[in-house]
Chains A and B, each alone.
Chain A
């Protein structure tokens, strides 16, 4: 497995270079000149302002030159400066990536926990009320658009009931914790700010639940199907015959084996959520990578678009690798890097 992981890690920079090249070229072949978003339209016919902006942002150079300069800077960790926020893209990403990761990890935890629980219950009570309710819940979660479910839960839980706060990562009146990890849950704790921690946790609940609902839907259906398959196996019968308790049979013997295909889904879901949290971040004014990507695309912010693409590409590559490793750990039959039939 070590050799396999090493090979994958060596291949990763080359794959990322491909991602960077494609992203760089695609952004530069769009129909609109990025200057249209750098300069206000009232100055677009002022040649002095246009020239000054071209020079300042390096747009007066040829495309190959821009590409080589970009790659050279990238090696030193310089992702360029955002046309839109006017700050280094690396700084923007450092501030926003933890926000997205915090949201996605919370969503994954909630989604996986509820998904597995619902899947197990649905399989255990197959065809009954619980099964039907679980499937309905999963169906809604997998198919309801976030812009609808997000606004709905905000309206119900924040506006009408007043149980949970509205958009944002922390109460707007509170001061954000000093940046240590960028995870507000951790940083408020490190700062000993319990009020802030409570605010952060409560602000996290609604967006994480909405985002996690999608995962719940997918995971519960996968767990249910796998559990039904596993529960019909002879070794389950054998376990029951040995006198194992129903809970032990369900959780220890059946669920562990049913988790194998589910792990793949969870791994892919994680990478998908990182790049796909766009709508949730927009609805909940969550300053993460997703909302950054949307704003960058709308504003023809080339450095930011390429920066986000690199992060997205890296997330998929790492998630794939971790899924493969997890697969091997959970199922000893899987030998990473072994040739087929060997």
Chain B
């Protein structure tokens, strides 16, 4: 028997030794790679197929657009283009490229690369292809001049070009690795596999390694033509949830945690960490689909208004994100053109009851509420639905909540439709048109199709169509004025009702500097440094 105990004692000693080895040794801070804990959820690293939050971080670090979004998150500033101009009716845009700009292989950024990039973005028919919608011709009168012509006015085109998906690609390198920009690119292009292992931009970083669901590793671009980034190597390490990310941060395994939610943030108490709460442009909304097949009670305008009045908006913010969020008036988020001084959503039970009584619905009814069972920007959509269920029960309306997988939700929202649901949105670029085109009751917009049951009921708001055309052709102060009018129309549609714009929590170690939220790019990596 003694033999057993001796063996056990040796094993215990070995374990203890291994444990002791695990003590994290301090490293020279400046030399070590910076680690960001984040749920990667990358759909592609091909700039023209990628469409995700992490993609925005990746693309803005490895590629550069003609212009970029300034730190104020509203204005654009030069990037690859030193200057640009638009004709009076916003149908022709001319750009002058910086002669110093070079790609990561040292070759100069030229007009032909811009033309190739924009044509591939348009012809590939990938998720971000809509950004080149309306482009009819791209001319390159010389190596450093690009002229983009549109079929109709688009005053937001410059803003769109600040989106990371429009970053300029080294056309020779990409073409020689299977990428195609021709009219048949949707079927002929074979470049995606190459883009999953390589980058071909002029940004401050290059792709070092990508292992799906594991890590995305950046290396400083040693041929970068701008100010060299302070951190030589950055790793975005897969960490699926807020708790795991917080643990990585607390243990020193990560320097930044990007998706910590308010509840988890409150459990972090360390003098070595900084927890910042900043407003975001992301938001969660509820939607009404009067054309959905499952409607037992017609969701006409008065009924939708009644339901919207019955929502306890501040209570929803407190319940879902512990009060760390903001009210939002319209589907165009706070801070975007046209949102100044919009009337905030109002809880008014008397008005809600009055509206229902006017439709003989004072005894209530039941509404199907299918929702994706996901947690997004710290908000659990199914939990939010439970809060709304309580709110609406006050006017005798019963929500029949059915949580489903996100992919199933996306199928059902189009057909047969979901009468009442909740969803989220984050901006693709700084500009209000994207919201009108997606949420507005324009013929064929995503939400017009879904809410109308693919055209079963007429929800088209012609005023929004006309105002959007005017806004896209306008300039100066007129732009904000016109979008404000559109925003008011969208509020009155009562198809999309924003509930909460959750704040973002930036959690990082004290020695990290330059952590900020960007509307286009999430986290600008090139601005990070170690104090």
Interface residue ranges, A against B (CB under 8 Å): 31-34, 36-37, 39-46, 48-49, 51-53, 55-56, 84-87, 92, 95, 117, 120-121, 124, 151, 154-155, 158-159, 162-169, 171-173, 175-176, 198, 201-202, 205, 246-247, 250, 282-283, 285, 287, 291-292, 295, 298-300
Contacts and interface: CB of A to CB of B under 8 A. Distances in A.
Given A84-B43, A172-B35, A172-B215, A166 B253 contact: yes
Given A44-B410, A84-B43, A86-B192, A282 B240 contact: yes
Given A42-B127, A247-B1, A283-B244, 19 more contacts: A34-B407, A41-B410, A44-B446, A49-B125, A53-B125, A55-B187, A85-B212, A86-B43, A86-B196, A158-B247, A163-B19, A165-B24, A166-B247, A167-B248, A167-B253, A169-B214, A173-B32, A202-B18, A287-B214
Nearest to A195: B25
B125 A52 contact: yes
B411 A285 contact: no
A235 B2 CA distance: 23
A287 B216 CA distance: 13
Given A32-B411, A154-B247, A247-B3, A43 B130 contact: yes
Contacts of B127: 39-40, 42-43, 49
Most buried by A among B8, B49, B209, B250: B250
A198 B24 CA distance: 12
Nearest to B410: A36
A287 to B, nearest CB: 4
B446 A117 contact: no
A176 B250 CA distance: 23
Q: Which 5 A-B pairs have the closest CB atoms?
A: A52-B125, A52-B186, A85-B212, A287-B214, A36-B410
Contact of B1 (A40, A48, A159, A246): A246
Contacts of B446: 41-42, 44-45
B187 A56 contact: yes
Most buried by B among A32, A117, A172, A175: A172
A224 to B, nearest CB: 15
A168 B37 CA distance: 11
Contacts of B24: 162, 165
A197 to B, nearest CB: 11
Interface string B192-223: 11001000000000000101111101000000
A246 B5 CA distance: 14
Contacts of B279: none
Interface in B1-53: 1-4, 8, 18-24, 27, 32-33, 35, 43-44, 46, 49, 51
Contacts of A43: 127, 129-130
Is chain A's binding surface mostly helix, strand, loop or mixed? helix
Interface stretch (B231-239, B322-330, B476-484, B523-531): B231-239
A328 B355 CA distance: 79
Residue from B18, B43, B405, B407 having most chain A Cβ neighbours under 10 A: B407
Contact of A299 (B2, B49, B407): B407
Given A87-B212, A198-B21, A56 B186 contact: yes
B26 to A, nearest CB: 12
A283 B240 CA distance: 8
A129 to B, nearest CB: 15
A32 B49 CA distance: 22
B197 to A, nearest CB: 9
B23 A162 contact: yes
A236 to B, nearest CB: 16
Contacts of A34: 407
